[in-house]
Amino acid sequence: MKVSDNHGEESGWSQPGTFETAFLGPAEWDATFISAADEKADSSRGIRLRREFHLEKGIVSARVYATALGLYELTLNGAPVGNAVLTPGWTSYRKRLLYQTYDVTGMLAAGPNAVGATLAPGWYKGDLGWVGQRNLYGSSTALLFLLVVTYSDVRTHRVASDTEWKTAQGPILFSELYHGETYDAQAEEEGWDKPGFADAGWKPVVARRRDVGALTAQDGPLVDRQELLPARSLFVTPRGERVVDFGQNIAGRVRFHVQGAAGQKVVLRHAEVLDAAGNFYTANLRSARARVEYVLKGNGVETFEPHFTFHGFRYVMIEEHPGNPDRSDFTAVVLHSRMEPSGTFECSNPLLNSLHHNILWSWKGNAVDVPTDCPQRDERMGWTGDAQVFIRTACFLTRSATFYRKWLRDLAADQRPDGGVPFVVPDILADIAKRDSMMRDTHSSSGWGDAAVICPWTIYEEYGDRRMLSDQYPSMKAWVDYIRVRAQDGLIWSSGFHFGDWVALDAKEGSYFGATPSDLVATAFYARSARLVGQAAQALGRPGEAEEYLRLSDRIVEAFRAEFFTPSGRLAARTQTAHVLALAFDLVPDQHRTRCVETLLTLLSENGGHLTTGFLGTPFICRALSDNGRLADAYALLLKEDFPSWLYQVKHGATTIWEHWDGIKPDGTMWSEKMNSFNHYAYGAVGEWLHRVAAGLDCDPREPGWKRLVMRPGPGGGITWAQASHETPYGRASIAWKLDAGRMTVDVLVPHNATARIVLPHASVGNIEAQGAEMTECEDGAEALVGSGRRVFSWPFDKTRVMRYLS
């Protein structure tokens, strides 16, 4: 392959490349699932399996294909296979079980070799959910393994999981995702995963019947150790607890060094925050024990990191230790799915920079194989509502397309035959409901089920991936059709259970449900999803269906206006979220838009300039203001520092986004321990506004995949400079603007094969210094359409305008 540019210059020819395919069908799996015969359903022990095999000379390639019911780790000749953790991840196991492929050519040798595997319950058979349920997918762990070795004469040798393997209980005495791990180093058997080990005391494995038709090649990023954070301090709390502070709330685990006598222990517990008195606080973890216990073997300095668990934490309490620990003995291991960073933001306001930092870290903490709600308590589920409100921010921060592709395939797999969408994906609530009479509704809430439509459409807009849109289109359409059957006259959705504007501050005392009527919220999202399905049909070349769903959306909007607006333009529900959704989803009659905006401002004023919105209103509130000519008011809201606000959390020491505006109250006391996560990214969806409005780096939705950019600086709120960058499918795009000495300067970079519309606020064509750009007047000031490359624009920004936009 070679490339050429628009000046006729050509590159040289690239080197030849190769590729491999996944297995083309179940018939290629000449292996069987194997496990220990005596494994009990209530057991949380780790299980080891091993087998030796002999290879000839002339190995040219070797591949391992592996998966498990539960979680697995593999070794070959004593060395770990791959770097991923928590494999094979969490999917809708009955319909989709992922297998991983490893190149192990350099790990094998002619002669004797050995493979070892360790299994643990994980999501498959371990504790899941807040009601103490387990074995939701099965009651026994099992390994599926196939090694294919190719020799220089093209012959192949295959080593498969079968009844020739042996098994034993290893040093992992207990391992659960919520509760932690107990590891007895005294039970280690040196060389158990190497050839020549004496395994006479090991037992034969048993084969487990399992349909391999659900096996699918890995289709998303694996979870890995992403960062190592040294301990920031080790201190003693007022209660006398020894606590390590890593300075950052994360999802992950702790690696530590220790020296002591055989049988002595290290016991650690994990927490996100300290209480008002400065003591270790774990009540918000609910039933999750988040405890790690290590039993020393007494052989010099020992190093340990748990294998099959993770926790949400900033603080670790040393409950037991054989000596005087030093903070240098402890390292936090950050775990999340492998996604390359793709977006940056920074500005002159350090509190906003801290907020952006918190948004990024909440995304990291909730991207452990599925987009979870929280990483710390007895939940950690793929809540659909949280995922859909945050997805656009996530796509700016990291290359997220394959992460969501994997999860959306599970959403489609778990979608009900009638089109209903589970509250969580993978859907374990349906299983829990069979055993828990308190759970009646487990699917199809507005704003949650709409993830089936909003998420694939957002991925299409961000990456231009028409194939994924096509794959998800039946699921998208089925969701809208599900609503259409249940809506009044097919238009107003007033039936069923809805979370509504979840945990909004205008909720009744003791309630999680915001004051905005469910039928208003449900119909608003219905209108939006119907329109997106119509647009998806257009993008996929389905004109008939496009017309059908766009017309349906128009009819829903008309019905919404008739139902929820009075003839004089008053919105019937006097809540912030009602007005925000009406504005954001273009549901307001044009002649009443000004009144709707003014009423929203009044509602803010009545609350001291603060928001009262919950999970569905908050993501859109700043955009509803700035898109309607109220940029200064959006900044005023964003920059509030007292409760409730984004910066209130920052001022109270948050390093991630909280689930509740008052997770920690002004007096230091906690919100209810029943549901109080300090790493919950939903309110971090304001990151989109920081990137696209404050910094001014956006993509034109009419040309998906950042083929055409919109660069429009958004000065205000006392900010004197801001900058953002994003790795688009075409390369790096960036914007940096600055106000200084009565001038505004904007520095932009447009990637190759892309164009950008540059909008300069309150500029006149005649006074702009521009590099190679033809400026024209526009409603906002001046604009230009430019091609790739870097350009700098500068123009006078007089004192009156500076005061207006910086106040």
Three state DSSP letters for 253-285:
EEEEEEECCCCCEEEEEEECEECCCCCEECHHH
Residue closest to 133 by CA, chosen among 313, 308, 287: 287
Q: Give the Cα separation of 409 and 404 in Å (integer).
A: 8
Q: Give the Cα separation of 36 and 80 in Å (integer).
A: 22
Chain centroid to CA 189: 38
805: phi then psi, degrees, rounded to nearest 5: -90, -20
Residue 57 DSSP label: S
Q: Give the Cα separation of 664 and 678 in Å (integer).
A: 9
DSSP states of 652-708:
TT-SS--SSTTSB-TTSPBSPTTS--S--GGGGGGHHHIIIIII-EEE-TTSTTTTE
Verify whether residue 509 is a known catalytic residue.
no
Three state DSSP letters for 398-418:
ECCHHHHHHHHHHHHHHCCCC
Alpha-carbon Rg for the chain, nearest whole angstrom, is 28
Q: Give the Cα separation of 807 and 801 in Å (integer).
A: 10
Residue 482 three-state SS: helix
CA end-to-end span of the chain: 55
Q: Give the Cα separation of 318 and 237 in Å (integer).
A: 11
Alpha helices in 132-273 (DSSP H): none
Residue closest to 355 by CA, chosen among 758, 554, 648: 648
Residue 590 DSSP label: G
Catalytic residue among 52, 346, 659, 727: 659
Task: Encode 311-325: b = buried (16+ Cβ within 10 Å), e = exposed.
Answer: bbbbbbbbbebeeeb
215-217 and 97-103: which strand pairing? parallel
Verify whether residue 39 is a known catalytic residue.
no
How deeply is 370 buried, as exposed, middle or buried, from its count of CB atoms within 10 A (0-12, 13-18, 19+)?
A: buried
Encoding tokens for residue 484? Answer: 């259409």
Chain centroid to CA 206: 37
The packing angle between helices 593-606 and 618-626, to 10°, is 120
| Structural contact between residues 105 and 62, judged by C-beta atoms closer than 8 angstroms | yes
Q: Give the Cα separation of 534 and 540 in Å (integer).
A: 10
Task: Encode 758-769: b = buried (16+ Cβ within 10 Å), e = exposed.
Answer: bbbbbbebeebe
Residue closest to 117 by CA, chosen among 56, 228, 31, 180: 31
Q: Could you tell me if residue 198 is left (phi over 0), alpha (psi between -120 and 50 degrees) or otherwise beta?
A: beta
% helix, strand, coil for the chain, step of 5: 30, 30, 40
Q: Which residues sit opposite 795 in a β-bridge? A: 744
Residue 80 DSSP label: E
CB contact set of 5 (below 8 Å; sequence gap of 6+) = none
Residue 555 three-state SS: helix
| Structural contact between residues 698 and 714, judged by C-beta atoms closer than 8 angstroms | no
Catalytic residue positions, numbered: 379, 659
